Chains A and B, each alone.
Chain A
Amino acid sequence: MKIIAVIPAYNESKTISQVVREVGKLVDKVIVVDDGSEDKTGRLAKETGALVLSHLINRGQGASLQTGTEYALKIGAEIIVHFDADGQFEPKDINKAVEPIKSLKVDIVFGSRFKGSHHDMPIIKRWVLKGGTIFNFLFTGIKLTDAHCGLRALSQKAAKKLILSQDRMAHATEYLQEVKRHHLKFKEVPVSVKYTDYSKNKGQSAWNAFKILWELVTGKILR
Chain B
Amino acid sequence: MIKTNFNTELTRNFYGTRLGLLNLRYKLNMLIQIIIILFIIFTLSRVSLKFRKKEASIKELIFWFIFWLLVGVAFFIPDFITRIANFLGIGRGADLVFYLAIVMIFYIIFRIYLRIEKIERDVTKIVRREALRESDEKEDIKNH
Give chain A's interface residues, CB within 8 Å of chain B.
33, 51-57, 59-60, 63, 66-67, 70-71, 74, 165, 167, 218-219, 221-222
Contacts and interface: CB of A to CB of B under 8 A. Distances in A.
B123 A218 contact: no
B135 interface: yes
Interface string B62-102: 00000000000000000000000000000000000000000
A221 B110 CA distance: 11
A60 to B, nearest CB: 8
8 contacts: A52-B135, A53-B131, A59-B127, A60-B124, A63-B127, A67-B128, A222-B117, A222-B118
A210 to B, nearest CB: 15
B107 to A, nearest CB: 13
Interface residues of B, number: 15
A71 B117 CA distance: 24
B121 A165 contact: yes
Contacts of B121: 165, 167, 222
A55 B132 contact: no
Contact of B131 (A33, A165, A219, A222): A33
A60 B120 CA distance: 11
A33 B123 CA distance: 16
B135 A56 contact: no
B113 A56 contact: no
For B132, B134, B135, the residue with the greatest tally of chain A CB atoms inside 10 Å of its CB is B135
B142 to A, nearest CB: 11
What DSSP secondary structure best describes chain B's contact surface? helix
Given A55-B127, A59-B124, A167-B124, A67 B132 contact: yes
Contacts of A74: 132
B123 to A, nearest CB: 7
Contacts of B120: 167
B130 interface: yes
By secondary structure, the A interface counts as mixed
A162 to B, nearest CB: 16
B128 A70 contact: yes
B20 to A, nearest CB: 57
B58 interface: no
Interface centre among B118, B121, B128, B134 (most CB of A within 10 A): B128
B132 A71 contact: yes
A66 to B, nearest CB: 7
Contacts of A63: 124, 127-128
B114 interface: yes
B109 to A, nearest CB: 12
10 smallest CB-CB distances across A and B, nearest first, come from A53-B131, A63-B124, A67-B128, A59-B124, A55-B127, A167-B124, A53-B135, A59-B127, A55-B131, A67-B131
Contacts of B113: 218
Nearest to A166: B121
A15 B92 CA distance: 64
B134 A54 contact: yes
Given A167-B120, A218-B113, A55 B135 contact: no
Given A57-B123, A167-B120, 17 more contacts: A33-B131, A53-B131, A53-B134, A54-B131, A54-B134, A57-B127, A59-B124, A59-B128, A60-B124, A66-B128, A67-B131, A70-B128, A74-B132, A167-B121, A218-B114, A221-B114, A222-B121
Contacts of A219: 117
